[in-house]
Amino acid sequence: MPSAARRSWFGLLVPALLAFAVLIGLGTWQLERKAWKESLIAALNERVAAAPSALPAPAAWPRLDQASEEFRRVTFGATFDHGNEALVYAAASAFRPDVSGPGYWVFTPARLAGGALVMVNRGFVPEARRDPASRAQGQVAGAVEITGALRWPEPRSFFSPADNPQKNLWFVRDPLAIATAKGIGPIAPFYVEQESPVPPGGLPQPGKIVATLRNAHLQYAITWYGLAGVLVVMFVVWARASLRDAGKANGPGMTQI
């Protein structure tokens, strides 16, 4: 019996150690994610609070680094090509808490004075105002001085529905895909999230990016470390009870078989 108890004890020791290592690893990973998220929030706050600078020249576009340039505020003059606007389904956004309800982002190509094209997210329109004719006041003609933030294309996830160019409907914010479907370009590898000016009639509804990223990684880390601690306590209690029971079974007066 003592040897059987020891085999049972050691047989569970290896899985327990593996589970403990996984839980500790997950907790440490969450602490690393916490540091990354705090750095991202700090950089985002700094960039959205800074005064806007000139839009990078088209010659510099291929060399722009997303990590250092995204969310930087810019200002530039351009003319909107309203005939090629696209509607992108507007899911909840951590950066635009002022927007709610079903609707769309209006992506419109904007032509710079030199002829280059930049896609601009002009802002939000509710479902009932998706038709440009219902917001004709906002289809501003002529040159406009635009202020906004640089954004890079949104990655398509496994769950993203397929775009429907025939209905002028997209499900990810990807200016390159929109430009390709509409046969326009070349176009900037980024798009601009417009914050001003507000068009006549208020639609599309532009807005300034707000840094409201959720940061719950410390709570997650505590949870994983806590589970690791519970595992240790449970294993120690079980091991002591198992060895104690084995000792009683082989104490004085017991017959060995």
3-state percent breakdown (helix, strand, coil) of the chain, nearest 5: 45, 20, 35
Q: Structure pTM?
A: 0.72
**pLDDT greater at residue 199 or residue 38:** 199
| Same domain membership, residue 158 and residue 103 | yes
Q: List, for residues 157-204, the tens digit of each pLDDT value.
A: 888 899 999 999 999 999 999 999 999 989 999 999 999 999 999 999
Q: List, for residues 111-120, the tens digit of each pLDDT value.
A: 999 999 999 9
| Same domain membership, residue 170 and residue 141 | yes
Instruction: Report yes or no on 127 lying in a domain.
Output: yes
Q: What is the pLDDT, as a whole number, of residue 214?
A: 74
Q: List, for residues 214-251, the tens digit of each pLDDT value.
A: 777 888 889 999 999 998 988 888 878 777 766 666 65
Instruction: Report yes or no on 105 lying in a domain.
Output: yes
In the chain, the DSSP E strands lie at 53-54, 73-80, 86-89, 103-111, 117-126, 143-151, 169-170, 187-196
| Same domain membership, residue 119 and residue 176 | yes
Q: How many domains does the chain have?
A: 2
The CATH number that applies at residue 139 is 2.40.50
Chain-centre distance of CA 117, in angstroms? 26
Q: Which domain holds residue 242?
A: 2-42+215-249
| Same domain membership, residue 98 and residue 161 | yes
C-alpha to C-alpha distance for 178 and 7, rounded to whole angstroms? 64
| Same domain membership, residue 189 and residue 77 | yes
Instruction: Report yes or no on 55 lying in a domain.
Output: no
Q: Of the ranges 9-23, 51-65, 219-233, which is most confident? A: 51-65
